[in-house]
A = this chain, B = another copy of it.
Amino acid sequence: MSTINQPLKLLMNLAKIQAVISRKFDGLAVHGIGFNDFLILHLLQQAPGGQLRRTELAEKIGLTASGITRLLLPMEKTGLVTRGANERDARVSYAKLTHAGKTIYEEALPSASAISEDIIPDEYLKKSPPVADLLIMLGGNIR
C-alpha cells in the first residue's frame, strides 16, 4: 500500500496556497500592477543603484529568462522600469527602477502588506509552529 510522504504532502498544500495567494494579490490591480510586477519593483528597490540584471531577476523571482522579458515589456512601456547597459559586457541588460516605478511601489506596499497579513496572520508567525502544521493548516483554511 502506497502512502504519501511528508514533503509531498507539503508541496501539494503549497500548490494550493500559492494559487490562492496570487489571486488575492490581484488586489494590487488598483495600482495597475500584478503580483510579479510588485515583486520586480520590490527587488529593484532593494538592489544597489535600483537596478538588476535580467537573469538575476529571473533567478530571484523563479521565472525563466523569457518570462522576465515578457514581464518587463509592459513595465517598460508604462515607464515603471527602464533599460540599462553594461559597459563591460554588451550581452547583459539591466532593469532599472524609474522614479515613477518607485512611486508606484511605495503606493502599493501598504496594500501588499495588508493582503499578506490577511493571508498569514501574525499570530501564526508568533507561535512559530512547525512548518508542516502551518502549511497544512493554511491549505485547509485559506479561501
Contact = CB atoms under 8 A, between A and B. Distances in A.
7 contacts: A4-B113, A8-B117, A10-B116, A11-B116, A16-B61, A125-B132, A128-B132
B122 A7 contact: yes
Interface residues of A, number: 46
Most buried by B among A11, A16, A128, A134: A11
Contacts of A10: 116, 120, 125
Contacts of A131: 124-125, 128-131, 134-135
A66 B86 CA distance: 45
Contacts of A129: 131
Nearest to A36: B15
A22 B17 contact: no
Contacts of A7: 113, 116-117, 119-122, 125
A23 to B, nearest CB: 8
